[in-house]
Chains A and B, each alone.
Chain A
């Protein structure tokens, strides 16, 4: 079956630091890949997505590239802000079924 493995958290960074959250997946076929973000006390928001190999999703300074050869979709941001503090979920979609990773808690300190 499909599965998503995310970097263990929690992650604590200082403001303006570089962020990487690792995500690898196992899937049959050609899934679409997503990063969702959950701010404290809120639901999930779609952050970015990529639907085929070598696609780069980007939004709000975050980027992730769909790497089929390494089955990865790592999330990066060059300079994090306090407002980026949230839980980040990597997910894949295949046949309209979403499979989530365990989530990574990010805290950015001023």
Chain B
């Protein structure tokens, strides 16, 4: 498997501001995913980001709050907009390298604290 990186690794933000999280992979992938992990909880899928099309959002997540870009096959961004303390979470991107194994590999995550 190749390398998945995320920036920033952590941030502390003020209520009402927005933060853009970057996910970079060192080889081309078709599907990238964004997850949220609230403190002490499991992972919840926010959206699936395919290059060249609009992201597909899961129930409970909307584009206005979590806009996603996928400009090419190696990069994606997730923005957390108009943040509140309830948005304090770890945000993780993942990729599925191949269509045959149905296996996702995760980046190191971005730890977000909203004051």
Residues of chain A whose beta carbon lies under 8 Å from any beta carbon of chain B: 32, 34, 36, 42-46, 49, 51, 89, 93-94, 96-98, 100-103
Contact = CB atoms under 8 A, between A and B. Distances in A.
Contacts of B94: 44, 98
Contacts of B105: 46
B94, B102, B105 — which one has the most chain A CB atoms within 10 A of its CB?
A: B102
Given A100-B43, A101-B42, A44 B101 contact: no
B106 A45 contact: yes
Given A45-B106, A89-B43, A96-B99, 12 more contacts: A32-B102, A43-B92, A43-B106, A43-B108, A44-B92, A44-B94, A46-B104, A49-B103, A93-B102, A98-B33, A98-B43, A98-B104
B36 to A, nearest CB: 12
B109 A43 contact: yes
A100 B94 CA distance: 14
Task: Report whether over half of chain A's contact residues are helix, strand or loop; otherwise say mixed.
Answer: strand
B104 A100 contact: no
B31 interface: yes
B101 A100 contact: no
B106 A93 contact: no
Interface string B24-44: 000000010100000001110
A15 B99 CA distance: 39
B42 A103 contact: yes
B87 interface: no
A96 B31 contact: yes
A94 B103 CA distance: 10
Contacts of B108: 42-43
